[in-house]
Amino acid sequence: MAEKKIEIAAEALSTAPPRAPAALPGGIEWLKPFSEAPTALYTNLYRESFGALARALQAQADFARRLAECKGPAEALSCQLDFLRSASVACSEEAQRAYRSLQSTLTSAPG
């Protein structure tokens, strides 16, 4: 008899539809700002990172083209120094751009 009850209970559990988790009192709307802020931050971080990567790759491609067009060692050295100078300036500008972007994302984040 006990075995039959165990079999019936096991069968009922295996065929029962999964139950939804119990809802929190007051709902879960209070969690929304906690998930939106990181999403906005990471989205902005990825957008800025890919933008910086695209600009750096374009600068390197332009440098390779100019280097290929050089007529002699002196011109190639001058081209390399120009690239080094422009890359340093670009790095500084990217850091400033990233800081401003992070600042604006954090100040406009909900919550």
Instruction: Give the C-alpha separation, 27 to 38, whole Å.
Output: 21
Q: Is 32 helix (H, G, I), strand (E, B) or coil?
A: helix
Residue 90 lies in a domain: yes
Tens of pLDDT, residues 30-65: 666 666 777 778 888 888 899 999 999 999 999 999
96, two tokens: 């400033």
What number is the average pLDDT over the span 1-27? 62
Q: How far is CA 108 from CA 51, 57, 94, 99, 103, in A?
A: 21, 30, 21, 14, 9
Residue 104 lies in a domain: yes
Q: Per the confidence metrics, is the pTM higher than 0.85?
A: no
Which domain, by its residues, includes 75?
59-111
Residue 43 lies in a domain: no
Residue 80 lies in a domain: yes
How many folded domains does the chain comprise?
Answer: 1
Tens of pLDDT, residues 60-103: 999 999 999 999 999 999 999 999 999 999 999 999 998 898 88
